[in-house]
Amino acid sequence: MSDMATISTFTGPISTVARRLAEKWSRQQATPEKSQQVLLNTLSVSFVNFYLECMGFETDTYASDSWNPVQQTLMDVADLLIKNLGKLECRPVLENAQFVYVPLEVQSNRLGYVAVEISESLQSAKLLGFVKEVSIDNLPIKQLQPLENLLDYLESLELQTTKCKSQSLDSSSQSLDLSNQSLGSSSQSLGSSSQSLGSSNQSLDSSSQNLDLSNQSLDLSNQSLDLSSQSVVNLKRWFENIFDSGWSTIESIFLTELAWQSRSAEEGFKNSVERAKLIDFGIQANKESVGIVVKVSHDKNNFDDMKIMVELHPTNGQEYLPSSLHAMILDQEETAVMEAKAKNDNKRIVLEFNAAVGDNFSVKIALGDVSVIDNFII
């Protein structure tokens, strides 16, 4: 995050999807005061979620109390779960406010507290800064630390978590050393047969060189490739078991058990349908590929509202996504309303949002000069 070292605040637009969800939840509250509270809390969490995903951190809104309708009503909560780290509290403030209100019920069990200034029009927001701990209800904004301190703090927590995991793996690896040593003698007996394969491998070299020349000729014509699909995927038809070409079962795309499999039991995605597709970026992007998973479910309170989750996973036995992979959700004007970029150690990218029947959106995935766009309608 060295390129972020000079950033003290972050300002950006609030997406239409986030605003629509916040307004929907606010209408479900009993009093105007509670309605305003849920509205601002939801916008704050959505904006911080957008920012952290852009910075490459994995989050889970559906595991946060702020996304739970019951907890919204009972508490003044604006938490966001960061995978493997804990919860960050995203407290909203209005323009020109001097204090950040932090209710007593959320002054513990948090990684830290971020102040989010919501514009009067609800069209934009600004991250003002953060603190690790709070012991008073009204925190002066001037006591906030710069925003880059939050990124450094979260990265240090990630490193600690990774180090702990590595140490636990080291002890397991040591226990395997003795058994591996016993295999040494049998491996040596295979040496002679391996040598006999050398001549046949040499005969393949010449044909491989011929292929290299054809591949080089293709490279010139593949610059700035756009592999976008012109067809539109109708997600509503997925509930009728009608699927577009190229979209397969998850098991047929991924050969290993992925983290998303445990999400099927989550409250936010019960009675859902999901499909996967392999995205091949071709020679222009060193033959990199990723798998995209799209999961759709009906909102339990309004059948015409849909919950959408888009995930990107590594394929071909790779542990991490290609670095600099860029995923975006585009609205019908082709404006990016959500986006995330992979770091060197991202195992997946997740983008979650709500949409209504009749809405159009697109998923754009870019790697280097190659981009792929899939178009959808609800």
Single-letter amino acid, residue 147: L
Predicted pLDDT of residue 249: 84
Confidence bin at 241 (pLDDT 50/70/90):
confident
Confidence bin at 286 (pLDDT 50/70/90):
low
Beta-bridged to residue 329, according to DSSP, are: 338, 363
Confidence bin at 81 (pLDDT 50/70/90):
very high
Cβ pair 33, 21 in contact under 8 A: no
What domains, with CATH codes, occur in the chain? 2-154 (no CATH), 232-377 (2.60.40)
Predicted pLDDT of residue 41: 97
Predicted pLDDT of residue 187: 47
C-alpha torsion angle, residues 129, 135, 139, 141 (rounded to 10) = -30
Mean pLDDT of 111-135: 94
Mean pLDDT of 298-317: 82
Mean pLDDT of 257-282: 62
Report the alpha-carbon distance of residue 373 to residue 376 in Å, rounded: 10
Confidence bin at 147 (pLDDT 50/70/90):
confident
C-alpha torsion angle, residues 156, 158, 164, 166 (rounded to 10) = -110
pLDDT surpasses 80 at 265: no
Predicted pLDDT of residue 77: 96
pLDDT surpasses 70 at 370: yes
pLDDT surpasses 60 at 343: yes
Segment 163-212, tens digit of pLDDT: 766 565 555 555 545 445 544 544 444 344 444 434 444 443 444 444 34
Report the alpha-carbon distance of residue 359 to residue 32 in Å, rounded: 29
pLDDT surpasses 50 at 122: yes
Predicted pLDDT of residue 224: 47
Report the alpha-carbon distance of residue 16 to residue 308 in Å, rounded: 14
Segment 21-41, tens digit of pLDDT: 999 999 999 999 999 999 999
Predicted pLDDT of residue 62: 87
Instruction: Name the more confident of 50 and 302.
Output: 50
Q: To the nearest whole number, what is the mean pLDDT of the chain?
A: 78
Predicted pLDDT of residue 311: 92
Mean pLDDT of 75-80: 95
Predicted pLDDT of residue 180: 53
pLDDT surpasses 70 at 324: yes
Mean pLDDT of 134-161: 90
Only one residue has tokens 């585009």, namely 330
Mean pLDDT of 130-148: 93
Mean pLDDT of 100-126: 94
- CA 335-337-340 angle, 5° bins: 115
Query: Which tokens hold the place of 121?
Result: 């029009």
Cβ pair 377, 235 in contact under 8 A: yes
pLDDT surpasses 70 at 285: no
Predicted pLDDT of residue 335: 86
pLDDT surpasses 70 at 51: yes
Closest CA to 279 of 295, 267, 292, 269: 292
